[in-house]
Amino acid sequence: MKSATVFCLCAVFAHAVLIASPLRAQQRRDRDVALAAIRSGQILPLRQIEGKILPQMSGCRYLGPELHDNTIYRLKFIRNNTVIWIDVDGQSGDVISRTDATGNFSESSSETELISGTRE
């Protein structure tokens, strides 16, 4: 019985390692692509984007960034058990859209409105 438990635990661990390795490799490739785009001036550094957006998201907890299509930063937040995504143009730093977990999607010419989720 004990050897069966040890075998199962080893199998689970080995499976987890095999799954995690390609994921880490993909994350490294994504990071390398983003760094190359920043160095070449194609996109702004993440810290610059965060410095603009994070102060405007009071009451939210920042969960982290993603980079989409090598030019769009997606910043993920949570407030009152609702996940909020803010998409930011990596070249200009302008907010493109705001989406929450309920499917509410906003596009607006007012960046303040997009970030806060309110109508001015």
Claim to verify: residue 51 and residue 94 sit in the same structural domain? yes
User: What was the pLDDT predicted at 78?
Assistant: 94
pLDDT digits (tens, 9 = 90+) for 60-87: 999 999 988 888 999 999 999 999 999 9
User: Per the structure, how many domains does the chain have?
Assistant: 2
pLDDT digits (tens, 9 = 90+) for 20-35: 566 677 777 777 877 8
What is the CB neighbour count within 10 angstroms for residue 81? 6
Q: CATH number for the domain including 60?
A: 3.10.450
> Whole domain around residue 63: which residue ranges?
43-120
**pTM exceeding 0.75:** no
Tokens of 79: 């407030």
List strands edge to edge, sheet with 95-100: 61-68, 72-79, 82-89, 95-100, 105-106
Claim to verify: residue 70 and residue 23 sit in the same structural domain? no
d(CA 81, CA 68): 24
